[in-house]
């Protein structure tokens, strides 16, 4: 057996890497940015106390709209995920300087829909689609990151745990029904609205066509929303 | 342990990537980024959507008649108010609350031992099995728990003085008293959540609150005597429903049962301390009827906070008012 702890694994890795930054440290998950000592390349290391299935599932996938998951390592006291480092800024950071126009928001959301399509096809729900989790790198590649809140769609009657970010969490995530792919559609709608208006749709709904799309995404009943991310992308 | 075929470094068992030479050791499925927008695909999706809508319509039609009955797998209290949030509307809510209130009155007004005992066995059986009534079941559960325990231990009355001196939040307004009974497996934890090592006699559950707290802030004590407070029972706060604005729960409270805060129209803030808590459907029925929000405060981020809830905690569309303040 591996007989290795996360700390042991990280310590060994740090013989070849330098720790550039701790990107986040909460919810039993620590995220480091590491730089290879000789290659100069960066990667993201996520250290979880509880293994997250999504990373395991996405390890086999190479999609432009998702970060590459290099490897998932199961250790005695949790899981370590090695992930592609996206050298860019989050939509939340861009939003600090101003709002999006429809064309820009459409480009971002189309990529998010592509990412969501890949996730949903693999039976995953992201459950935390928000500006902080959408990154844009220097080449303009849009990437949906952070699968920490994701889950596999199951037959259980309802979510037993509230996960996600308030404001972006859909009603079923807060207990009305089981969250599924349409949960992410809801959050994507709010993301679109936020990009265009800087506000939650309940405060200010985007105008025109975008407003109608947001409205449809954020219907309280999942069946009234766009049923797949591809349909949402098509509507854009 | 195995070695990287490229650089020879020792890797973990089953590694798919060598971090030392940054080489992938297996192939990935490359997914093209463009979503093909073929017309047939859209047509198929639309057809699927239409079918789904049709299916929902059928389901709705079918379930409309079944609403009062309750799924067989539903646990004790959740069964009670299943139909309420969705179809019952305001009237059903109020009827539930009045039911809850009377339950509390009988608990505290008369001697618990005399009210208890008689039908404990039958009621507990009832609430355990699947029930078909709505509001009455919730009430039954209330009384069952209280009666069952008081019959066993007689702690309701005898507990009062000690809780006055030791553990209650006494303020300038009037002394706040927490009424409690010894916990049971059923009252302390949501079904299936009780740990194996759970000793009910170490714990108590809050069945009632009286007294007016300053500024409406009620801080539930963590311990009463040398017993730990573990749950808030149905209608516990009904007696002070006019005064409650803020409730601070100790780390030890793990479950809030249905209607625990019935009638508490002024409740605006709830402070959690525990990392995990179970909140039953309609724990805050009054909140669902008013405009405004009930804010949950937790020292933990909502993502990490294990917030078990059973059905809809505030009636229909709880999401519209429930919000987190990390």
pLDDT average per 10 residues of sequence, chain B (326 residues): 82 85 80 55 76 83 55 35 26 28 32 32 34 32 33 31 38 76 81 71 89 88 89 87 87 81 80 72 62 64 49 39 37
Domain boundaries, chain A: 6-84, 88-235
Nearest to A200 by CA among A66, A95, A126, A125: A95
pLDDT for A154 beyond 60: no
pLDDT score of B276: 66
- The better pLDDT of the pair A1, B164 is held by A1
Q: What pLDDT is recorded for position A34?
A: 92
Instruction: Please give the helix or strand (H or E) that residue A186 lies within, else none.
Output: helix A181-197
Interatomic CA distance for residues B103 and B106, integer angstroms:
5
Does residue A19 sit in helix, strand or coil? strand
The verdict on residue B133 lying in a domain is: yes
Question: pLDDT class for A124, splitting at 50, 70, 90?
Answer: confident
Which residues are CB-contacts of A236 (< 8 A; sequence separation ≥ 6)?
Answer: A106, A109, A110, A113, A213
Q: Which residues of B touch A17 (CB under 8 A)?
A: 19
* C-beta separation of B282 from B257 below 8 A: no
Domain range for B179: 75-325
Q: What percent of chain A has pLDDT over 90?
A: 22
The confidence score (pLDDT) of residue A63 equals 87
> Is the torsion defined by CA of A211, A213, A216, A219 positive or negative?
negative
Q: How many CB pairs under 8 A join A and B?
A: 122
When comparing pLDDT for A121 and B196, which is higher?
A121
How far apart CA B161 and CA B207 sit, in angstroms, is 15
Query: How many domains would you assign to chain B?
Result: 1
**Contact criterion met (CB below 8 Å) for A74 and A33:** no
Label residue A165 by pLDDT band (50, 70, 90). Answer: low
Please report the sign of the dihedral spanned by the C-alpha atoms of residue B262, residue B183, residue B222, residue B195.
Answer: negative
For chain B positions 52-81, those within 8 Å of chain A (CB to CB) are 52-53, 56, 73
Q: Is residue A128 within 8 Å of residue A148, measured between CB atoms?
A: yes
Nearest CA in chain B to A84: B22
Gap between the Cα atoms of A28 and A79, Å rounded: 11
Nearest to B127 by CA among B136, B115, B114: B136
Q: Does B193 touch chain A (CB under 8 A)?
A: no
The class of domain A6-84 in CATH terms is: alpha beta
CB contact under 8 A, A62 and B28: yes
Helix, strand, or coil (residue B28): coil
Residue B107 lies in a domain: yes
Which one is predicted more confidently, B182 or A1? B182
Q: What angle do CA A105, A107, A109 make, to 5 degrees?
A: 65
User: Concatenated DSSP letters for A106-169?
Assistant: HHHHHHHHHHHHHHHHTTEE----SGGGEEEETT--EEE---TT-EE--S-SS-SS--S-TTT-
pLDDT value at residue B40: 56
Residue B87 pLDDT: 26
A71 is catalytic: no
The Cα A220–Cα A112 span in angstroms is: 21
Return the CATH fold of A88-235. Answer: Transferase(Phosphotransferase); domain 1 (1.10.510)
> What is the share, in percent, of chain A residues with pLDDT greater than 70?
86
Which residues from B are below 8 Å from A111, CB to CB? 33
Question: Average pLDDT for residues A125-153, to the nearest whole number?
Answer: 85
Please indicate, yes or no, if residue B61 is contained in any of the structural domains. no
ipTM of the complex: 0.78
Point out which residues pair with B255 in neighbouring strands. Answer: B231, B278
Residue B319 to residue B284: CA distance in whole angstroms? 13
The better pLDDT of the pair A138, B30 is held by A138
Output the pLDDT for position B186.
79
Residue with the larger pLDDT of the pair A221 and A100: A100
User: Are B302 and A111 an interchain contact pair (Cβ–Cβ within 8 Å)?
Assistant: no
What does residue A75 show for φ and ψ, rounded to 5 degrees?
Answer: -120, 175
- Interface residue B111 vs chain A (CB under 8 A): no
Residues in chain B: 326
Tokens of A89: 């800024």
Residue A156 has pLDDT above 70, yes or no: no
């Amino acid at each position: 057996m591996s007989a290795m702890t996360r700390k042991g694994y990280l310590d060994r890795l740090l013989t070849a890497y330098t720790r550039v930054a701790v990107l986040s440290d909460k919810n039993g998950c620590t995220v480091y940015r590491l730089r290879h000592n000789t290659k100069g390349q960066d990667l993201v290391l996520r250290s979880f106390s509880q293994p997250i299935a999504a990373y395991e599932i996405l390890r086999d996938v190479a999609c432009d709209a998702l970060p590459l998951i290099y490897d998932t390592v199961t250790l005695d006291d949790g899981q370590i995920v090695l992930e592609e480092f996206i050298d860019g800024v989050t939509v939340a950071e861009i939003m600090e300087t101003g709002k999006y126009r429809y064309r820009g928001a459409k480009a971002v959301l189309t990529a998010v829909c592509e990412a969501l399509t890949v996730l949903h096809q693999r039976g995953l729900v992201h459950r935390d689609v928000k500006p902080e989790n959408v990154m844009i790198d220097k080449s303009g590649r849009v990437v949906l990151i952070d699968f920490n809140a994701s889950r596999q769609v199951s037959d259980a009657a309802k979510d037993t745990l509230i996960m996600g970010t308030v404001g972006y969490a859909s009603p079923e995530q807060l207990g009305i029904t089981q969250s599924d792919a349409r949960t992410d559609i809801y959050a994507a709608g709010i993301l679109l609205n936020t990009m265009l208006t800087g506000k939650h749709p309940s405060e200010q709904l985007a105008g025109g066509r975008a407003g109608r799309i947001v409205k449809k995404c954020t219907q309280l009943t999942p069946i009234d929303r766009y049923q797949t991310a591809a349909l949402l992308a098509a509507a854009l | 342990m195995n070695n990287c075929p490229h650089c020879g470094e020792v890797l973990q068992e089953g590694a798919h990537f060598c971090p030392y030479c940054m080489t992938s050791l297996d192939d990935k499925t490359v997914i093209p980024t463009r979503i093909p927008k073929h017309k047939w695909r859209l047509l198929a999706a639309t057809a699927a959507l239409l079918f789904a809508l049709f299916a929902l319509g059928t389901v709705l039609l079918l379930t409309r008649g079944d609403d009062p009955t309750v799924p067989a797998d539903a646990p004790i209290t959740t069964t009670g108010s299943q139909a309420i949030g969705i179809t019952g509307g305001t009237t059903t809510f109020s009827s539930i609350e009045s039911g809850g209130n009377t339950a509390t009155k009988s608990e505290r007004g008369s001697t618990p031992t005399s009210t208890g005992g008689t039908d404990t066995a039958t009621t507990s059986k009832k609430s355990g099995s699947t029930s078909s009534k709505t509001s009455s079941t919730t009430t039954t559960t209330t009384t069952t728990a209280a009666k069952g325990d008081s019959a066993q231990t007689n702690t309701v009355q005898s507990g009062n003085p000690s809780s006055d001196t030791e553990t209650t939040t006494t303020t300038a307004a009037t002394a706040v008293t927490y009424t409690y009974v010894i916990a049971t497996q059923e009252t302390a934890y949501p079904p299936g959540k009780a740990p194996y090592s759970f000793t009910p006699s170490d714990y108590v559950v809050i069945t009632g609150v009286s007294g007016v707290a300053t500024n409406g802030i009620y801080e539930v004590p963590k311990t009463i005597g040398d017993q730990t407070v573990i749950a808030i029972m149905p209608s516990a706060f009904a007696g002070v429903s006019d005064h409650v604005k803020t409730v601070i729960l100790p780390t030890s409270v793990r479950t809030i049962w249905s209607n625990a805060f019935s009638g508490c129209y002024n409740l605006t803030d709830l402070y959690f301390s525990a990392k995990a808590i179970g909140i039953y459907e309609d724990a805050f029925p009054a909140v669902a009827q008013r405009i405004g929000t009930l804010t949950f405060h937790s020292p933990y981020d909502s993502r990490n906070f294990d917030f078990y809830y059973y059905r809809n905690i505030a009636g229909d569309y709880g999401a519209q008012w429930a919000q987190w303040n990390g």
